[in-house]
Structure 1
Amino acid sequence: MSVLEVDNVSIHFGGVKALQHIDLKVGEWEIVGIIGPNGAGKTTLFNCITGFYSPTSGSVRYRGMDITGKPVHERTKLGIGRTFQNVGLVKNTTVLENLVTAQHLETDYDAFAGILGGPATFAEERRLADRAHQILELMNLDGVAQARVADLPYGMLKKVEIAAVLATDPDLLLLDEPGSGMGPEEAHQLGDTLLELRKQFGVTIVMIDHHVPLVTRVSDYVYCLNFGEVLTEGKPDEVRRHPEVVRAYLGEDPEEPEASTVAAADAPATEQAREEYV
């Protein structure tokens, strides 16, 4: 049984067909990458999977359960965690406080007990803080545990957001551009971290990122979207070299995909697109 199945999902906003007949499957402990140029529909697909959008047609299943009509909080309870393009953290509090807050579904006391306080409440708060410290240590973020989130650079904020989602104890982790704002070396380190997270937490990962080398290095399987449709799918190197993928990213019309990739510097594309692709 697949962990996640997206079956023939389409979503329309008025006359705009944002997604058209999307099929996607994610197996246990897989890392699946989703690439594609801006406006391809990648984040819209994430929004359909996590419940922020309701698809016009099609279905989303999690471990065989149809969750198409379930609200966001119920999907979170099932074990689906998600990061965002724009960092979703409480920026005026510390990194540690964000991770403790993220574990609110795990608390064993109600709001009234939390207001009054007491030995059991304090013991539970210590347990949540200890678990937060363990996650930060695994993410190499223990040195910024007491730092205010608003004072951190953007690349580190993305790592903190992943840590906060891990604190919710997800079974399926959806990462929306985790490498955004990172240089090549940072992105490489992030890739190593994602591989370690899968090993340590036994988590299944679906990731969107414009940094194609990052996606193809860590993913077991890759989908490429363009204009709201699946352009191609397959093993990472096959997708990266596919002529239609090269054309979508670099504006080329190659005869031989490998040759066109080498000649990317001569393609009529922006420097940013070249950097993301090669």
Structure 2
Amino acid sequence: MTTPLLRFGLAANRLHHDNPNATLFQWLRACGSSVRQLGVELHTVGRTHDAIMRENMLEGYAGLVRYPYGREGGLMKLVARVAGGTETSAPLDGAIYLIDPVDPSSTFPEALALKRQCITHHKPFVSTLAGAIDWIEVERMHAGLAPEPVADGMFRLESQTAAMIAHDSLKPEMLAFADKYFDLLSRFARRVGTGTTGSKLNELAWSRGWPADRRWVDPYLSGPMGGDAQIAELVLDRSCQRVIFFEDPHVARQHEADIQLLERAVRVVTEYATCATSPSMARRWADAALLRTGKTV
């Protein structure tokens, strides 16, 4: 195998690989050919790797790399390599961690650190089936490959609702993102947001010529007052399909439980919802969405 274009960490909680129709195998059936075509090297935690072998998935693929079991440090190794690797190990470009929100291991330090290091180093962190299908399609678009029909539904924005949320230090990033991709984001059937972020996005939209008698973003309460929980309910009701959540991993947040609740809701409806957790991840998705329609910013 030639040097891979991408190296991704891969892990899945037990629920997502314990039977032939589990989430991990749904993803591989949908995206296995794209993984091969892209030459993605999958650095896979022990039990997840063994499950892939058991189900004869990615048979003969040299890009499937086995790590130790999680209890032996496999997930910890993924964290280190997302952060930059070592003299003897190459860095990873991101991670797909299919999370069962009621599995205790999903809250272990290494699981939380994997997400945090992905955000810190501006790399994608993907935790749902819908997100994993979506992200492989993003990489296809950036590699100049033809769109995969299996991902068509992920890019029908006219039938979707997007939640747009940003912590205080990242509100300017959210406004810049919305300004740059305004036409793309305007394709969503509906946009929702929390507190100040929603208000600022509406002001931006009106400055861009959006009708003054219409809100571009439907505002909910601020995060600390329950806005994240309100949007979590939309996700659980399958009324919000895409969460764009610019998280600041470097500050303590008084409403951390509400943030976790929203992320948990996305993972409960794993086959239905996606979450972009950083500006870099959101921009790469948006550029791919434009490429898919033959447009650029």
Q: Radius of gyration: which is bigger?
A: 1
Q: Indicate whether the TM-score tops 0.5.
A: no
More helix by share: 2
More strand by share: 1
Bigger relative contact order, structure 1 or 2 (CA pairs below 8 A, ≥6 apart): 1
TM-score norm. by structure 2 comes to 0.29
